Chains A and B, each alone.
Chain A
Amino acid sequence: MLQYLVSVCSLGAITAILVLGVNVRWGLAGELDLGFYLFPAVGAYIFGVVTLPKASTQVDVTYILGWHQSFFAGLLAAAVVGGLLSVVIGAVALRRLRANYFAIVTVACTIIGYTFISQYRPLFNGYNGIYGIAPPFGDSIKLGPQGYANFFLGICLFAMVAVFFVVELIRRSPFGRAAKAVREDEVAALAFGRNPYILRLKAYVIGGVVGAIGGALLVNYVLAFSPNAWSPLETFLLYGALLVGGTANNLGAIVGGWLVLIIFPQLSLLLPPIGGNPDALPAIQNMVIGLLIILTLYFRAAGLIPELQTMQGQFRTKGQWNWSRKGHGQVGVVDASASV
């Protein structure tokens, strides 16, 4: 039971990182990126091919690189490639496209990526994908299975907190304020000397890096990665999580991620098997998740944690965090009368 919980919580932390990535693009920059999942996928693949040994010719597996590097190298590589890919896609998609058109182009890029990776075997071994990822630090740390699982949970939680910390710093900075201004009124931002394209592109890249890091951790959890593990549809679940947790709100992203992608599915397991058909379970699970999303949004349309009203008090000289319960713009104030 404990092992099960630890495992689920590790996945929860990783999922929270993915939702934080979505929030950087949607909440900070206002970009409706429906193809987000391409970046966790790329992060996972890159981590894999950097840390795996060279593709063995004996077993029928082919992939690029195979540098057999450490966990940290893999993570760094994933982040870098995620960032570079963001620059390439963002430079094209963000230059002229808005809203619906931008969303469609991102979906198209993800579908192209998905299809290319699936078909072009030499890249990441096509449909069969890569597997046999070594558990991080598995050689250096001698712990039993339970101990190791706890250790891995520790890594994931640490990563989640670290990503949250960085993303919050960014949100509260002058850059974050400028990105928010662009999101609210782009023409006014232009009128005051800001370049919306550059600001949006930077946010897009940050989102890609966060997504790739999440993907790299994910492949350490699953220890394998193939097109089965991701489809262009996955992005919608992340958005569902963000909407429930509270858009434009990093704490909401974490809460939403845990709630929609971990707790809701767990709740659906409590249901008695309907019709006694075990294959129905995933379908039922999805229906339950959907229903719970609808109910949550019906009663709290702004999400569980509404967007912070102001950024005030969040850039103090000493860099201290103002976590007080009262006042404007502080985390923890769930003000039902606040207009979002």
Chain B
Amino acid sequence: MTNATAEAPALVVNDVWRSFGGVKAVNGCSFEVKKNSITGLVGPNGAGKSTMINLISGLLPVEKGEIVLDGEHLEGHTMDAISRKGLIRTFQVAREWPKLTVLENVLAAAPAGNREAVWRSMFGRRALARQEAVLEARARALLVRLNLTAVIDIPAGRLSGGQKRLLEFARVAMVAPKMVLLDEPLAGVNPVLGDELARAIHGLRDDGATVILVEHNLGFIERNCDTVIVMATGQVIGQGSMQDLRTNKAVVEAYLGQA
């Protein structure tokens, strides 16, 4: 797929606010994400990055402001509704379904359509079996791409941390989403897996998705992102390449603090 330079941004976050018991976690945050880009979202602890991801994905309701994905407003919708619009997120700690096998995990992630209606388990089973077979073929191909074929029939709860991360990427890819929010995918993972995860991220972009990558590992961000957005104390304080940001006074101050 070519990296089309579309004019309209994939995601527009406009003046979003969210507090927790008086503490403003996100206060007046605005940014745009270019279509089919890999955009980094960084910032020191407490900057509001995770809260922002939770707001965009619908895990938390927005107090004020707008979040627009491809022209559609996301604020006010539930998390599952937003996922069905094509925005998928991952979590800091991989959330696999432990007693389902790796293959079942990927199949259970595929968009439900009407396959998961109760009546279909009893009627129209031949057609359903055909649909499932098609999905299974796609799932297996994805798992090959991510080197998980060896564990394809193992309950996902038994995988190592790194394998669980890769499984998450398989599940995300299965949806063929418009937009992916990755919440610290390197957290708790052996550094040697970094290259494989990078490949998986680029794979998502090559398949047409726009990727927002939240990470603390700024080296990884620099190597893999087209552009980087820096948040601090709930707002955006800078955007550009890592090189630009290093000379941005506000960014340096956010990371090093005020004496």
Contact = CB atoms under 8 A, between A and B. Distances in A.
Residue with the greatest number of chain A CB neighbours at <10 A, chosen from B80, B117, B128, B158: B80
A339 B158 contact: yes
B49 interface: no
Given A195-B80, A310-B155, A169 B121 contact: yes
Contacts of B84: 193
Given A191-B95, A192-B88, A312 B118 contact: no
Contacts of A194: 80, 112, 116
Contact of A192 (B108, B120, B153): B108
A315 interface: yes
Interface in A98-121: none
A6 interface: no
B122 A312 contact: no
Interface string A152-195: 00000000000000100110111111101100110111111111
B130 interface: yes
Interface string A253-278: 00000000000000000000000000
Contacts of A188: 91, 95-97
B223 interface: no
A309 interface: yes
Contact of B103 (A166, A202, A312): A312
From DSSP, what is the main secondary structure of chain A's interface residues? helix
A202 B101 contact: no
B104 A312 contact: yes
Most buried by A among B89, B90, B118, B133: B118
B104 A310 contact: yes
Interface in A180-238: 180-181, 184-185, 187-196, 199, 202, 206
Interface residues of B, number: 45
A319 interface: yes
Interface string B65-97: 000000000000011100110001111000111
A174 B101 contact: no
Contacts of A174: 107, 112, 115-116, 120-121, 128, 132
B57 interface: yes
Nearest to B79: A190
A319 B122 CA distance: 11
B126 interface: yes
A309 B156 CA distance: 11
A58 interface: no
B57 A191 contact: yes
A140 interface: no
B175 interface: yes
Contacts of A56: none
A202 B98 CA distance: 23
A177 B97 CA distance: 10
Nearest to A176: B121
B118 A202 contact: yes
A317 B126 contact: yes
Given A177-B108, A315-B129, A319-B126, A191 B88 contact: yes
B111 A185 contact: no
Contacts of A180: 97, 99-100, 108
Interface in B110-168: 111-112, 115-118, 120-122, 125-126, 128-130, 132-133, 153, 155, 157-158
22 contacts: A172-B121, A174-B116, A175-B121, A181-B100, A184-B97, A185-B95, A185-B98, A188-B96, A191-B88, A191-B91, A192-B88, A195-B78, A196-B80, A307-B99, A310-B100, A310-B101, A310-B155, A311-B100, A311-B101, A312-B153, A319-B129, A339-B158
Interface of B: 57, 59, 78-80, 83-84, 88-91, 95-101, 103-104, 107-109, 111-112, 115-118, 120-122, 125-126, 128-130, 132-133, 153, 155, 157-158, 171, 175
